[in-house]
Amino acid sequence: MNRRTVPSILSRLPVDPYVLALLATVGLAALLPVSGTAATFAGGASTGAVGLLFFLYGARLSTREVADGLRHWRLHVTVLACTFVLFPLLGLAARGLVPFVLTPQLYSGLLFLCLVPSTVQSSIAFTSIARGNVPAAICAGSFSSLVGIVVTPLLAALLIGGGTAGFSADSLFKIVAQLLLPFLAGQLLRRWVAGFLTRHRKVLGLVDRGSVLLVVYTAFSEGMVAGIWHQVTPARLGALLAVEAVLLAAMLAASWYGAKRLGFVREDRVAIQFAGSKKSLAAGLPMATVLFGAHASLAVLPLMLFHQMQLMVCAVLAKRRANDPESLAGEPLPAGPLSGPVARTRLPTTVGE
């Protein structure tokens, strides 16, 4: 086999290569979990990586995009309602599956998944492929990420019981120190670092993904040392996948038909569906390490599985949306700052989110 054909074959695999890297990291943590002094060092490095991630999030968020997005407030409120109201309600409804289908620990992870903000890059990419309103997807994903920094921890404290993610003064301080302050620092310094970030986008993308992999390794190592993985069986994992498939299908349907009932045009409905039905792995993993501590490995497992599932399903759905009669008819975008030729721009799918 020619070496040049290997990247081509990998690009055709139904599994996201970044997810393969995540699975490899989990396997490494299972075989060689970090412990003792090394665990203390790894924990400090993981904390630094979380701060770096949220600093980069803040530095990349354009305040001009936020200001323009406010003019299309109905769409953004709809996406936020899907992300932080409808998703959590479905997560609470799944409590009836405990303990017959899901263990209490896996259910806590599933509920946490329902509280995580939406993605940015992949929402944009799928909206573009489906011939939707790309600028609306940009603003909707950015707003969701911004709101999630505050809302996700608060919802976790309110809805996830049993002390797994207890909300105390210490946890509040960790959230502010590790998530909010770096994000605000990124926003304040954006004026001076935005050009650097743009010029070194590819390198910083590797930094993003490497930071997430470090967080995953540290979290799953703690789980191995604590012995919590003995609580998960293949049957439970299969049940979790089935529950997440139903959850994703329900959100895709609700966001599409709900937006239609609210009177949004097709391009806006596409943006609402893809921004309102997905969850961000990159934002959720660092939050889980802060909120769950030693239990973070089980807490992020549902999010990791859901991430891969949403990419595969939405890739197929986006192509079908691009070929539906309403799209081919060329229904015009609504007038305003979020319409125009840019909405037809095709962007490459990003997978580290």
pLDDT over threshold 90, residue 85: yes
Percentage, residues of the chain above pLDDT 90 = 23
| Contact (CB, 8 A) for 221 and 38 | no
Q: What is the pLDDT of residue 279?
A: 93
Q: What is the pLDDT of residue 351?
A: 41
pLDDT over threshold 60, residue 161: no
Q: What is the pLDDT of residue 293?
A: 66
CB neighbour burial string for 275-292, b if at least 16 within 10 angstroms, e if fewer: bbbbbbbbbbbbbbbbbb
224 vs 166, residue with greater confidence: 224
Q: What is the pLDDT of residue 329?
A: 56
343 vs 252, residue with greater confidence: 252
Residue pLDDT, tens place only, 44-83: 787 777 778 778 777 876 766 656 656 788 999 999 999 9
Residue pLDDT, tens place only, 329-347: 554 444 343 433 333 333 3
Q: How is residue 133 written in tokens?
A: 């309103």
pLDDT over threshold 80, residue 350: no
Q: How is residue 224 written in tokens?
A: 């191995």
Residue pLDDT, tens place only, 258-294: 999 999 999 999 999 999 999 988 788 778 877 776 5
Residue 301 amino acid letter: L
* Mean pLDDT within 28-51: 79
Spatial neighbors of 221 by CB under 8 A, at least 6 apart, are: 29, 33, 34, 35, 39, 42
User: Which residue is listed with tokens 């799209």?
Assistant: 327
Number of H helices, E strands in the chain: 17, 0
> What is the C-alpha separation between 278 and 263, in angstroms, rounded?
22
> What is the C-alpha separation between 291 and 285, in angstroms, rounded?
10
| Reported confidence tier of residue 327, pLDDT bands at 50, 70, 90 | low
Is omega for the bond preceding 117 within 30 degrees of 0, making it cis?
A: no
Q: What is the pLDDT of residue 343?
A: 38
| Contact (CB, 8 A) for 239 and 305 | no
Sorted by where each begins, the domain ranges of the chain are 38-324
pLDDT over threshold 90, residue 94: yes
| Contact (CB, 8 A) for 325 and 115 | no
Taking all residues of the chain, what is their mean pLDDT, rounded to a whole number? 78
pTM here is: 0.75
> What is the C-alpha separation between 198 and 347, in angstroms, rounded?
16
**Does residue 279 come out as left (phi exceeding 0), alpha (psi in the -120 to 50 range) or beta?**
beta
Percentage, residues of the chain above pLDDT 70 = 76
DSSP structure class, residue 117: P
Residue pLDDT, tens place only, 191-241: 888 888 878 777 777 777 777 778 778 877 777 776 666 667 888 889 999
Helix or strand or coil: residue 332? coil
Contacts 24+ apart (CB under 8 A), 171-180: 171/290, 171/291, 174/290, 175/290, 175/291, 178/47, 178/50, 178/51, 178/54, 178/286, 178/290, 179/50, 179/54, 179/149, 179/153, 179/286, 179/287, 179/290, 180/54, 180/149, 180/150
CB neighbour burial string for 197-213, b if at least 16 within 10 angstroms, e if fewer: eeeeeeebeeebbebbb
pLDDT over threshold 50, residue 1: no
169 vs 148, residue with greater confidence: 148
* Fold of the 38-324 domain: Na+/H+ antiporter like fold (1.20.1530)
